[in-house]
Structures are given as structure tokens and as C-alpha cells.
Structure 1
Amino acid sequence: MNKRKLKALVLMVGAIFMAFFMFNLNSQASTSRDQGVDWSKFQSNSGVFGYSTDKFVFSQAGGFYGGTNIPQTTYASQVASAKQAGKRVHTYLWDGVGGNMINAKAMMAYYLPRVKTPKGSIVALDYENGASYSVTANTNVILAQMALIKAAGYTPMLYSGKAYLNAHVNVADIVRAYGNCLWLAEYPDYLVRTKPDYNWFPSMDGVAIFQFTSTYKAGGLDGNVDLTGITKSGYTTASKAKAQANVKKAQKAQAAKVVKYSQRGVFYPNRTLAVRYTDSDKVRQVATYYKGESVIYNAVIIEHDYVWARYTRSNGLYGFIKLGVTNGPAYGKRVVGQLVSHTYYTVKSGDSWWTIAQRNGLSMTTLASQNGKTIYSTIYPGQRLVVR
């Protein structure tokens, strides 16, 4: 075969491959090419809309930052604004827990009762910073969080960049459990783009939403395209009926599992705390919060047959108090409050925030925060730091 014919054959095979790839991509996208935007506090109380043809909005409810849950005050008004504009509105959360399962469950216990979008709608985890050095730990945390989202009656999704996910998470496990559940970002440039350029599509299994630009309009705004119709979740008659049925089923299952604990000596006197025993993950947020002068009790976690109240001290450190037994012979029995002991590390010569955090599977920000400091604070040999 001469060189001219060989070159022509190579070009023809390449053209067939690209046509096949684009056909598959277009087939995947054919079910829904709806476009929409996502908002955080930077889009103000009412949000910033893209174009009249946009169909959906994601609003950030808050997230786990530097060792604590910080809600966004713009969330409720943004959801109301999107609904008034006739958009399908969904929720996302900044997921800065890394590979810490306790923080992950506490985060979901805090936010899931605060979701203001309809049952069946999407609750997405924004996982793009703070991952631990353990791929297994990161993956297990995400799977546990997505299970809690699903158990609460919402549609779980995972947002990130392709490179970051592949570096820190076993994506195959996530997709195996939840199918087309990925929301991935990939931008060709920072010019205004009103339509996706599929030459930059982050091709991998499980992609449901493609965030194709951070400059959807002049001034900056994320633009997203729904490839599978997932943003219709919670907004069809069938999905609403299914969600309502699941809620009734869950309520019926929980009805016989309510336990009451006297709060004397732990919270304010003469108050009652109702705790619901849920699925195998045993996590449920309590609707009532109690504030003391120096301690804020902001979550309740049911773990290993005990009820734990998460507290935050005035100096920013947090821990857990054991409240009671959830099942077995001692079901409902009061347990004297005991603080969970911390694990400490003594700083050695040559140590830094980075080396200590890496050694203990934490981010530098989390390590510094749980010690009441920032990553710019100086540490000295002999100093004790909380690492667990």
C-alpha cells in the first residue's frame, strides 16, 4: 500500500471514529439538552439568571468549611426566586469533609433537614477541595453521604472536575452505586460561551450534567447542560408520587422508633429531645436546636447504638456528648454525658501544618481550624495539636 493510500485510510478511520463518538454523545444528550445555572452567595439573594431558555437552577445551601458547617444565607431566597421564575431548582453543598466519616455524617445530618427544594430533587455534593490522602476513605465518605441523600428522599449527585475525581476518588464505585450521577466541569477558555463545546466534554462513565463554562454571560456565571434529563427529578408527576410514597413509608417505619431523653444537665432544663432511629447508617438530624452560653449543640448522630450530640465550643473546637442507648436491653436508658477524648500530636522540629495534616489524613485547613488556629499560625516543637 503506498503512503498516499495509507494516509487516506488513516484519515477515513479517524473520521469514522469521531463520527461514532459524537453520535454516542449526541444520543446521550438527546433525551435532554436543557441548560441552566448554579448559584452561591456571590449571585446575591435573588440569584443571577442566564437566559430565558434556561430550565434549571442549582443553589448552594452551604457546606462544611474548615471543620464546621456554614450555611449560606442566600439559599432560601434564591430557591424562592428560581421557583417564581418557573425554573426547576435543586440544591448543592460544599463537601469539605475529605475522608472524615464522622464529619461527613454530621454534615448531612445538619443540612438534609434544611433542604428547601422538592423531594426527589437533586442534592449534589461539591467535592473539589480538601480530599484526604486515602482514596478509599474519600470514596466511602461520598458513598455514605449519597446514601443519606437518597434515604432522605432526594436524588444524589457528585460535582467535581474529572482530574480531581480520578486522583482522589474511586469513581467506578460511585457510578456503580448511583449510575449517571456525575456533574463535571471542563472549560475550553474563559470567554463568554452560551452553548457547550463537546470537544471539551470530560468523557467518562456516569456523566449526567456537563458544566461547560464559568462565563455563561459577561461578568461570569456557570453554564450547565443536562445530558440525561436528571434535572427533571422531583418535577414530574411520577417522581413526586414516588417521593411522597417513600416519605410515608419512612415515617411509618420510624413511628415506633421514637425515643425521648431528658435534657437536664446537658441542654436547657425541662426540654425533651426526640431522636429517630433510621436506616443502617443510623444517622438522623433533630429538628430542635439548643444554645447555651458557651456551647452550641447543632446535630445529633446515632452511631453504634448510642445517641451522640455534636457540640461546638466558643473557642471553635467541637466534639460529641453521649446521650443514650437506641436499642437492645438498655433501650431508652439515659447515659451520663461524656466528652469523646481527643487524639493529640506533639509537634517536633521540622514539622509543619502540611506534614502533620498529611500524616493524619486531614487537610491543613481542618487541622488548623480544630486547634483554633489558621494555616498561617506558627507552631513550635513541643506544642500539642488535636488531630482526632
Structure 2
Amino acid sequence: MRSKIMLGFAVCAGLFLCGQNVQASRAQGTDLSRYQGYTAVKGQASDEFAISQIGGINSGGIYTQATYQSQVATGIAQGLRMHTYIWYQVGSDIFKAKQCMDYFLPRIQTPKNSIVALDYEDGASCDQSANTDAIIYGMRRIKQSGYTPIYYSYKPYTLLHVDYKRILAEFPNSLWIAAYKDYSVTTTPDYAYFPSMDGVAQWQFTSCYRAGGLDGNVDLTGITDSGYKNGNPEKPETHTPAVDAGIKADNTPKRDISVGYTVKVNYSASRWTTGQYIPSFIKGNSYKVIQVSGNKVLLDGVMSWINKSDVEILQATAPVQSNNSSYYTVRYGDTLGGIAYRYGTTWQNLQALNGLSNPNWVYPGQRLKVTVNGYAQRAYTVRRGDTLSGISARLGVSVGHLVQVNRIGNPNRIYIGQRLVY
């Protein structure tokens, strides 16, 4: 999630679990947005679930996450129970809440009964009761659509802006609360810093689940089993295109890997087929297969051969397409910056993508290309003193992702003025 919870917040939250049996599940997992890329990532090898952002609503209106469906598919392929969350910056505005639910609920790609969480951590009004009405409205719509509604935020924000007892009266054990001990890499929750509240089903206990940053969550009640038979991601209660693609990938034997498949390099892999050591930044990242020869495959971007036994299949078909439209029709009052924000890109990228000589010259009815191959395109121009690792940290993506999408043969060779897509 976007919010960062300070140590003091966690301490003030209380040191003991209140009315909560934390022995119920304790499965751990992550939450993901576009910053993690198109492949679901694990923080720890033992992770059992992930919650992917489909998009949301903010002061600029509805926006989507091009990474959502692909994350769901590749998460299922890795054995994760996949769920959904929505950025819910509606304040107390029921009209915005309805607009958000009308748009996103038909587009959910996780199974029926899976979690659909409302991320409410910004934009609250001064009217606590009206804020709570807007949240309950959204949760009712989620439940009516056949999903498991939960509320995400952190304790101080909730106590100030929301009557969470009203939420629990209608939706027991439906809170997902964030509170961090500190910002050190933390792989397991320290229950001395649990945000003591009634009804906490899930706790986000760190934003540093691994080096480089990733949210870590613990399921306290078994709520992440929702939508999955006996908690098995291969046996969801219902199917969607993204889930079906993930199950197909998981069930495809490695001997059947073909050109066009997406695979992940296993952490246990040690050498390319040429005998050279595989760099650590390659491991755990996903790559397209561009050639197959016997028991080895050639990976796009790194242009290296690897044994089929050293990879894991993430997508056995073409990537699941996002619901994003490739084009946007300009409406009255639109600006290029506002359109770019909605699609998770920059106005400079849209200007270049559409060949606009002046970014201020957009007009109602104009048709703008907003995505490339279904995904919003973002780019960074290399400056003096930059390194690929430094750029990856600044952009919130992995070195391996930059290497892959920019087809970089040697990650130590980048140059001033080079344009890196991320």
C-alpha cells in the first residue's frame, strides 16, 4: 500500500491482541500494485497469498492498473491464493463510491468469495459518520457481487475518520490493518506490535518484507482461504480468464515449454547452459522464451540459454489482457496531466506517444493513445552518474525488470541519454 505507518503508531496501537485468535491461520503473503510489475512476486518462498490492486478512484477519477490481471494469472501459477484490492479515495461521497463499484466489480479477476478490499487511507472528510456510510456502501456492494469485503487502513487514521465498530457490526472480522515495528527488513510478524483492535482479520506488519521494499501481511483468521477450496489455489470456487491462465501454466509440464511462454528463473538455478554463473539479479524474475532447443530455452532480454529444469512456467499462453482501453477520448475539462495520472503514466510519455507538439493542446473528442500493447508506457532517461541499481531503486522496480523490458545485454553498460522503459 502507499501509506507508511510510523513506529509510534504501532506502539500506541497496543501490545496485545484483543478478542482475536491469531493461531487461526498465520499464513503470510504480499500485496501488489503496478510497482511490482506484471508478474506476481513473493516476499518469502513460503508465501501463500497475494492481494493485487485492480485500480481505484482518487481526486482525478477512476484509474486502472495494467498489471492486475497478469499478476493474478502469474500468482496462481506460483501457487498463491490471489485476491483484489481497490484504492478507495471517496471520502464521504456516495456518488464516487457508486462510480467506483460500478466500474470495478464487473472487472474482478479473482474467484467469487475471494477478498475484495477497500483501501481507505486518504481523502477522508471531517464527517466520520458519512465516511463510514461510504465505506459500508462499498462493502455491501462487494458482498452483493459475491466477494468477501474487507476494509484496509491503519489504526490512527481509522480511529480519527471512521466508526469501525459500525463496520464490524455488519461485517465481523473484516479489518485489514497496517502497523509497522520499524523499517528494517522483517520476514515474520512481531506480535508485540500488533495493532490491538477488534475484528482484525489480517495485519500488514511491514513495508520491508524483503530488501528493496515489499509489504508483508499475515492472515490471522483464515480469510485468505476465501474463494479457494481448502485453501488450494488450483481449486478456486469459480473461474476467471486470469485464474484459468494461471492454472494452465501451473499444470503445464516443463518439457512442453514453447516460444512465447513466460518463465521465472528459479532461485536454485546456478549456471547458464554455457557454464557461466547466473547473476543473482536474474533469479526470481520473469522472461519471455524466444527460442527452444531440446531441454534448454533462450530468454529474451538477457539473451542467455537456460535448462528447462531451472525455470518455472508463469504463463503458458499470451498474457491476459488488461481491461484498459488502448485509446482515450478527451472530454471537456481534461488535461494531458490528468489523463496520464489516470493511466499510471506521465504527460511527457503521452505527448511522445501521440506526437503532440504542445501538451496543452488537447480538445474534447480527440482520441489519444494511452497504452502500448495494452500497458501504460513509462520511461526514464539516464543521467550522468546513474547506475541501473540506483535507477531501479528510484523507480521502485527490480534491476531484472529493467534488463528484461529494455533488452539490456550487459547491466553495467548504460549511457547518458538512454531511454529506459519501466
For the criterion TM > 0.5, the same-fold answer is: yes
Partner of 2:57, secondary structure, is: strand
- Tell me, yes or no, if the aligned pair for 1:94 and 1:126 is still in contact at 8 Å: yes
Q: Of 19, 24, 29, which aligns to 2:22?
A: 29
Tell me how far 1:51 sits from its aligned partner: 1.3
Report the counterpart of residue 98 of structure 1 in structure 2: 91
CA 1:140–1:24 in 2, change beyond 3 Å: closer, same or farther? closer
1:151 lines up with 2:151 in the alignment = no
Which residue, 104, 109, 112 being the options, matches 1:119? 112
Q: Closer, same or farther in 2 for the Cα pair 1:151/1:313, shift >3 Å?
A: farther
**Contact 1:182–1:208 (CA<8 Å) still a contact in 2?**
yes
1:230 corresponds, among 218, 223, 230, to: 223
Local SS of the residue matching 1:69? strand
Partner of 1:172: 165
- Does the CA-based 8 Å contact 2:185-2:208 persist in structure 1? yes
Matched letter for residue 103 of structure 1: K
Matched, 1:110 2:103: yes
Task: Using the TM superposition, give the Cα deviation of residue 44 of structure 1 relative to its aligned residue in structure 2, in angstroms.
Answer: 0.9
Change (3 A) 1:292 1:91: closer
Secondary structure of the corresponding residue to residue 42 of structure 1? helix
Closer, same or farther: CA 126–24 of 1 in aligned 2, 3 Å: closer
Shift of 1:140: 0.3
Runs ≥4 in structure 1, deviation > 3 angstroms?
A: 21-25, 237-244, 291-295, 312-317
Partners of 1:35 and 1:225 within 8 A in 2: yes
The match for 1:197 is 190
3-state SS, counterpart of residue 141 of structure 2? helix
SS at match of 2:133: helix
Residue 78, structure 1, aligned to residue 71, structure 2: yes
> Match for 2:132 among 126, 139, 149?
139
SS in 1 for 2:53: strand
| Cα pair 2:19 2:198 within 8 Å, conserved | no
Secondary structure at 1:30 match in 2? coil
What is the CA distance between 1:313 and its match in structure 2? 5.7
Structure 1 residue runs without a partner (length 5+): 1-17, 245-286, 296-311, 318-388
Q: Deviations over 1:212-261 (max 9, x none)?
A: 111011111111000000000000269999977xxxxxxxxxxxxxxxxx
SS across alignment from 2:102: helix
Deviation of the 1:136 alpha carbon: 1.1
**Gap regions ≥5 residues in structure 2:** 1-13, 239-322, 339-422
Q: % of aligned pairs identical? A: 48
Pick the structure with more helix per residue.
1
* Aligned-residue RMSD, C-alpha: 3.2
Question: SS of the residue aligned with 1:107?
Answer: helix
Deviation at 1:292, TM superposition (A): 9.0
Aligned position for 1:345? none
**CA separation in 2, counterparts of 1:140 and 1:22?**
27
Structure showing greater relative contact order (alpha-carbon pairs closer than 8 Å, 6 or more residues apart): 2
- Hey, what's the Cα distance between the residues in 1 that align with 2:33 and 2:335? 28
Pairing 1:217–2:183 present: no
Who wins on radius of gyration, i.e. which is larger? Answer: 1
- Matched residue SS, 2:66: coil
Q: Distance in 1 between matches of 2:53 and 2:46?
A: 22
Q: TM-score with structure 2 length normalisation?
A: 0.52
Query: How many angstroms apart in 1 are the aligned matches of 2:86 and 2:22?
Result: 25
Report if the CA contact (8 A) 2:117-2:149 is conserved. Answer: yes
Q: Determine the C-alpha separation between the residues in 2 that align with 1:83 and 1:239.
A: 10
Contact 1:146 1:157 in 2 (8 A): yes
Query: CA offset at residue 293 of structure 1?
Result: 5.3
The answer to whether the 8 Å contact 1:96/1:129 transfers is yes
Instruction: Work out the number of aligned pairs and report it.
Output: 240
Distance change >3 Å, CA 33–CA 41, structure 1 → 2: same
Could you list the per-position Cα deviations for residues 317-345 of structure 1 after superposition, in whole angstroms to 9, with x for gaps in the alignment?
9xxxxxxxxxxxxxxxxxxxxxxxxxxxx
